[in-house]
Amino acid sequence: MKSVQSFLDAIPMPAVFVDTQMRIVGANAGAWTLNPHAGDPRPFVLVFRQPSLGAALETCFASGTAQRAVFHHTDGPHEIWYEVTVSRVQGGEINGSLLCFNDTTHLKQADQMRRDFVANVSHELRTPLTAILGFIETLQGPARGDQKAQDRFLTTMAAEAGRMNRLVGDLLSLSRVEEEARVRPTRLVDLDQVIRSTLRNLAPVAEEVGGTLIYDAPDDPPQLIADSDQLFQVFTNLMENALKYGGEGTDVTIRIAKSPRDHVLRVPVLRISVADTGPGIAPTHIPRLTERFYRIESHRSREMGGTGLGLAIVKHILNRHRGRLAVESTVGVGSVFTVILPLR
Ligand SMILES: Nc1ncnc2c1ncn2[C@@H]1O[C@H](COP(=O)(O)OP(=O)(O)OP(=O)(O)O)[C@@H](O)[C@H]1O
Ligand SMILES: [Mg+2]
């Protein structure tokens, strides 16, 4: 059945052809990566052991109409989902059914992400909202006429409302960054000025937490094509984190260095590092830091007004600039967040 094989080879997804006895006639290379025995001339159900596939195949032969089934495959740490179409093929010397495996993993993941996102946002908004509603009830009832209690509750309510406001602000800026993701920045930006204005802006925060911002300014301040407002946001988020999580008395040092070639981006880059002398981050957390709403000590971070969106925004902005974020940390010593931007 040479002709069957050449058809199978032309199908741009894993495909297997079986005869009316449900024995495998042939498979293409994509199917072999799913199952090294995909092309063996054996009963299909003994090679692909997921019952849903065997059932769809039987129904297809019995009814003569195309069937669909879901096939789940694990490839090391990756879970892959296929929607399998089983179609009856008959004509000339060819008589059997064709199974085509369509990879739907990305759709499933996007769907899951959207659901997680809505659940997270709702949860984040509900916590302060519940607190505010509780205080309103108290103010209307037991605390009516108690000036001291009223002042205290109103202060807390203002803080909770502030948190909701920041969350909504962060969500809006995240969606704005995503919207512009494909538009490359075009302006020439003076990095030194951006960093200096970030430092000015964060001076009160540094004072509040008892930390020190140290800028190791370069002799020849570099310029690059970028979006200065977005870079301002990147450095604000990183320095604010360094101050907030570095703990009292932390030193936050900002340095700029040029590198002739980044080993990931493979181009000349600028590296802007924000280093703190805080408690550091355990290695298991590092790869997840840029996920939306990811917080290491969610309780502590929330107390500090954190929403867990800061680093997600940083990552999106750097993607738009074709750059990347590198995080190194030693527990008990401190963390270094490095912004890496292509020079050109
Ligand atoms: N310099 C740092 N040292 C230790 N932990 C850090 C540092 N920077 C970030 N983290 C951890 O990473 C988590 C995610 O940071 P991110 O900036 O995304 O969110 P956040 O600070 O909690 O909230 P937001 O920035 O939206 O107000 C923080 O909750 C914190 O646990
Ligand atoms: Mg933050």
- DSSP string of 250-304? -EEEEEEEEES--TTT-S-EEEEEEE--SS---TTTGGGTTSTT--TTHHHHHHT
Q: Percent of the chain having pLDDT more than 70?
A: 97
Does pLDDT of 73 surpass 70? yes
The CB of 160 under 6 Å from ligand 1? The reply is: no
Instruction: State whether residue 95 is helix, strand or coil.
Output: strand
Band (pLDDT 50/70/90 cuts) for residue 302 is low
CA dihedral of 170, 176, 182, 183, whole degrees rounded to 10: -120
The CB of 234 under 6 Å from ligand 1? The reply is: no
Question: Which of 63, 82, 103 represents a domain boundary (last residue)?
Answer: 103
Does pLDDT of 301 surpass 80? no
The CB of 241 under 6 Å from ligand 1? The reply is: yes
Q: Give yes or no: residues 231 and 336 share one domain.
A: yes
Question: Which of 103, 119, 151 represents a domain boundary (last residue)?
Answer: 103
Number of structural domains found in the chain? 3
Residue 32 belongs to domain with CATH number? 3.30.450.20
Alpha-carbon distance of 78 to 63, in angstroms, equals 35
Q: Give yes or no: residues 188 and 123 share one domain.
A: no
For 328, the enclosing helix (H) or strand (E) is strand 324-330
Which of 23, 7, 19, 6 has the alpha carbon at shortest distance from 95? 19
The CB of 245 under 6 Å from ligand 1? The reply is: yes
Q: Give yes or no: residues 207 and 69 share one domain.
A: no
| Ligand whose nearest atom lies closest to the CA of 302 | 1
The CB of 338 under 6 Å from ligand 1? The reply is: no
Q: Give yes or no: residues 158 and 266 share one domain.
A: no
Q: Give yes or no: residues 123 and 73 share one domain.
A: no
pLDDT in tens, 321-332: 999 999 999 999
Average pLDDT over residues 217-221: 88
Question: Which of 179, 208, 243 represents a domain boundary (last residue)?
Answer: 179
253 contact partners, CB below 8 Å, separation of at least 6 = 214, 215, 216, 273, 274, 275
Q: Give yes or no: residues 137 and 270 share one domain.
A: no
| CA 311 to ligand 1 center in whole angstroms | 7
Q: Give yes or no: residues 16 and 30 share one domain.
A: yes
111 token code pair: 């769907």
Alpha-carbon distance of 206 to 190, in angstroms, equals 24
* Nearest alpha carbon, ligand 1 atom 21: 306
Q: Give yes or no: residues 163 and 211 share one domain.
A: no
For strand 212-216 and strand 251-259, is the pairing parallel, antiparallel, or unpaired? Answer: parallel
Q: In whole angstroms, how far apart are CA 87 and each of 40, 67, 189?
A: 20, 7, 58
| CA 263 to ligand 2 center in whole angstroms | 27
| CA 27 to ligand 2 center in whole angstroms | 51
Cβ(238)–Cβ(286) under 8 Å?
no
Q: Give yes or no: residues 195 and 332 share one domain.
A: yes
* Nearest alpha carbon, ligand 1 atom 13: 295
| CA 329 to ligand 1 center in whole angstroms | 13
pTM for the whole thing?
Answer: 0.73
Host domain of residue 26:
2-103
Q: What is the pLDDT of residue 178?
A: 86
pLDDT in tens, 152-211: 999 999 999 998 998 999 999 888 888 888 888 999 999 999 999 999 999 999 999 999
Q: Give yes or no: residues 305 and 276 share one domain.
A: yes
172 token code pair: 């809006």
Residue 204 belongs to domain with CATH number? 3.30.565.10
Q: Give yes or no: residues 320 and 195 share one domain.
A: yes
The CB of 296 under 6 Å from ligand 1? The reply is: yes
The CB of 323 under 6 Å from ligand 1? The reply is: no
Residue 115 belongs to domain with CATH number? 1.10.287.130
In sequence order, what are the beta bridge partners of 201?
Answer: none
The CB of 163 under 6 Å from ligand 1? The reply is: no
Q: Give yes or no: residues 159 and 265 share one domain.
A: no
